[in-house]
Structure 1
Amino acid sequence: MIAVDFESWCRAQLDTVESALSAWVPLQAPAGLGQAMRYGVLDGGKRLRPLLVLAAAEAVNGSDGEAALRAACAVELIHAYSLIHDDMPCMDNDVLRRGKPTVHVQFGEAQAMLAGDAMQALAFEVLTPEQGVPAVLQARLCALLARSAGHAGMAGGQAIDLASIGVTLDEQSLRDMHHRKTGALLQGSVLMGAACGQASPAAWLALADYGDAIGLAFQVVDDILDVTQASETLGKTAGKDQHANKPTYVSVLGLDAARQHARELREKALAALSRSHLPDVQRLTDLANKVVDRDC
């Protein structure tokens, strides 16, 4: 059961993130590009990645609130850009995202491609202000985000996903794909938050393990919801992975085993938090529960 004060904390953090994104994503970018960018990132989404950044920063007594907020917004910009590109006809060819038409449907394919490109660049611009965040911390945050989003992380996982259509994968291969495609950016969110404070080497490794488990749990639950919920509930097209003949945790493990696996991953995440010996990891604990218990 998630405490009421946690939901209040989430609302407060999300309001702050939304305000910052609205300020930093420019409406006046040339030729309507700003409109497409703002459409793709504002007013929608779970914002799990920013919440993980901010919760991890709190857990390690992050004193640099501006750095954590910038990291939270940067990771959401990367996530949103990836969704814009993933939805395009050359990839997943989807028409619904966050309960509204996808960016390429609303603005055209070329504008959607450019909006994603611009948002990826903007993420690193947000992380590197001229003042307010120490240069060493800027560099560390940029490195963590780039590694999570690039060939070894999200983009590499997406490449494996596209190459796996109609292919039978075993559980280990599926885990490797989703560790990259989904898990890397979620783990990176936790570590970006941890970088904003003082984490011992042992705590850093424990938070990395927590992020890894939560990243995989999120994807397992996503695969479950894809076959158990309607499009209206999800805000995106339900059943699209099955229709596209893509391997999922449900197709590989079965529905009941996938649900059990999600619970096991939550326990793994909570065990990692216990090993961190950080004094207050309640926000991260609640987020782990939120990931596994969600219904959309």
Structure 2
Amino acid sequence: MDQSLQSLLLKEQQQLNSALMSYLKGLNIPDRLRESVLYSIEAGGKRLRPLLMKLTCTGLGEDPVKVYPAAIALEMIHTYSLIHDDLPAMDDDTYRRGILTNHKKFDEATAILAGDGLLTNSFHVITTSDLYTDREKVNIVAKLSKASGLEGMVAGQFLDMEAENQDISIKDLENIHHLKTGRLISFAIEIGGFLAGISQAKMEILKKYGDYLGIIFQIQDDILDIEGDQATIGKRVGSDIDNEKSTYPSILGLDGAKQYKAKYVKEAAQCLKEVGLENTDLALISSYLSERDQ
């Protein structure tokens, strides 16, 4: 990874982690449940979704401080989804980010409740913030609940499980990951633009960019499940094949998946150019997402 990009990621992660931990540690939570929540929050993670929100807002000239409540809420929802995805009823994973998954470290009931708590309190972060007007709170909560709920991430996870051991088309696969992964990434980009007061015309371009970025992210995930290093990515390589999941490489072949990703990288770059963000830190992160090794 480029040194300047690594420095950027580290600096932004530290700032986001500080804000996230400040909120969580201020809550009155039973000790074991608190331990479970903090275990998954502190497990690492690149904080890419809140980072995308912040860098979109900053790139458009707005003070990034206003982003923090929404960014914290987004990362809480992402963490809850990982805790639940790892459960035996879902992906049944033992390791996440190089350490035991939450239900292996604690127990299934505690892991479920930790995820439930993170999901529910994410909306508390937004609605109690004094940085947002009432209109902004309603808009952010409405978009976040849709992106993460029955028409977004939850639907995507359901369709992903339903597609196991099935032959599906590339269109169906894109729809699954548009919902499961892309909706929250697109939300991050959209809210960054919304808080910066971007025009509706540019907002539509940003939404497309978020959708493309979600596909790029997922294709690279699928590639890493084949080519990745287990010690680097922090979880078992080859689990998609073992679970007979439909992936971009399984449908298009490994080379075909890489070519498909390259097409969307080009489309995403064009979107950034159209909204004047092509020479910003957001563009650096976009490139990183398509080339990351973890």
Residues 142-151 or 20-29, more deviating: 20-29
Residue type of the partner of 1:214? L
Distance, in Å, in 2 between the alignment partners of 1:191 and 1:220 is 21
Alpha-carbon offset, residue 31 of structure 1: 4.7
Question: Which residue is 1:262 aligned to?
Answer: 261
Residue type of the partner of 1:231? Q
User: Secondary structure of the equivalent of 1:74?
Assistant: helix
1:241 matched to 2:228 = no
Q: Is the 8 A contact 1:67 1:127 kept in 2?
A: no
Q: Is the 8 A contact 1:59 1:281 kept in 2?
A: no
Matches within 5 A, 1:75-154: 75-154=74-153
User: Secondary structure of the equivalent of 1:25?
Assistant: helix
User: Number of residues paired by the alignment?
Assistant: 293
Deviations 1:109-134 (A, max 9, x none): 00000000000011111112252322
Structure 1 residues not aligned, in runs of 5+: none
Q: Which runs of 4+ in 1 moved over 6 A?
A: none
Question: Which residue is 2:191 aligned to?
Answer: 192
Question: Which residue is 1:38 aligned to?
Answer: 38
Deviations 1:234-266 (A, max 9, x none): 111211111001100010010001111111111
Aligned CA distance change for structure 1 residues 7 and 231 (closer, same or farther; 3 Å):
closer
Question: TM-score normalised to the size of structure 1?
Answer: 0.94
Residue type of the partner of 2:274? R
Q: Is the 8 A contact 1:74 1:126 kept in 2?
A: yes
Aligned CA distance change for structure 1 residues 281 and 154 (closer, same or farther; 3 Å):
farther
Q: Is the 8 A contact 2:77 2:122 kept in 1?
A: yes
Q: Is the 8 A contact 2:269 2:278 kept in 1?
A: no
Q: Is the 8 A contact 1:59 1:280 kept in 2?
A: no
Question: TM-score normalised to the size of structure 2?
Answer: 0.95
Distance, in Å, in 1 between the alignment partners of 2:172 and 2:111 is 31
Distance, in Å, in 2 between the alignment partners of 1:99 and 1:107 is 16
Question: Which residue is 1:61 aligned to?
Answer: 61
Aligned CA distance change for structure 1 residues 137 and 53 (closer, same or farther; 3 Å):
same
Deviations 1:182-205 (A, max 9, x none): 111111111121121110112111
Alpha-carbon offset, residue 170 of structure 1: 0.8
Q: Is the 8 A contact 2:97 2:235 kept in 1?
A: yes
Residue type of the partner of 1:290? Y
Question: Which residue is 1:10 aligned to?
Answer: 9
Q: Is the 8 A contact 1:223 1:248 kept in 2?
A: yes
Distance, in Å, in 2 between the alignment partners of 1:195 and 1:229 is 36
1:292 matched to 2:286 = no
User: Secondary structure of the equivalent of 2:11?
Assistant: helix
Residues 23-32 or 165-174, more deviating: 23-32
Distance, in Å, in 1 between the alignment partners of 2:193 and 2:207 is 9
User: Secondary structure of the equivalent of 1:227?
Assistant: helix
Question: Which residue is 2:164 aligned to?
Answer: 165
Distance, in Å, in 1 between the alignment partners of 2:23 and 2:11 is 19
Distance, in Å, in 1 between the alignment partners of 2:278 and 2:236 is 38
Distance, in Å, in 1 between the alignment partners of 2:199 and 2:210 is 16
Identity over aligned pairs, percent: 34
Deviations 1:32-80 (A, max 9, x none): 11111111112401211011010111122223x3430111111111110
Q: Is the 8 A contact 2:83 2:115 kept in 1?
A: yes
User: Secondary structure of the equivalent of 1:237?
Assistant: coil
Q: Is the 8 A contact 1:18 1:43 kept in 2?
A: no
Residue type of the partner of 2:164? I
Residues 93-102 or 120-129, more deviating: 120-129
Aligned CA distance change for structure 1 residues 53 and 159 (closer, same or farther; 3 Å):
same
Question: Which residue is 2:219 aligned to?
Answer: 220
Deviations 1:144-201 (A, max 9, x none): 2111101111100000011111000111010111110111111111112112111011
Q: CA RMSD in A?
A: 1.6
Deviations 1:67-98 (A, max 9, x none): 30111111111110000000000000001001
Q: Is the 8 A contact 1:103 1:112 kept in 2?
A: yes
Question: Which residue is 1:47 aligned to?
Answer: 47
Alpha-carbon offset, residue 28 of structure 1: 4.6
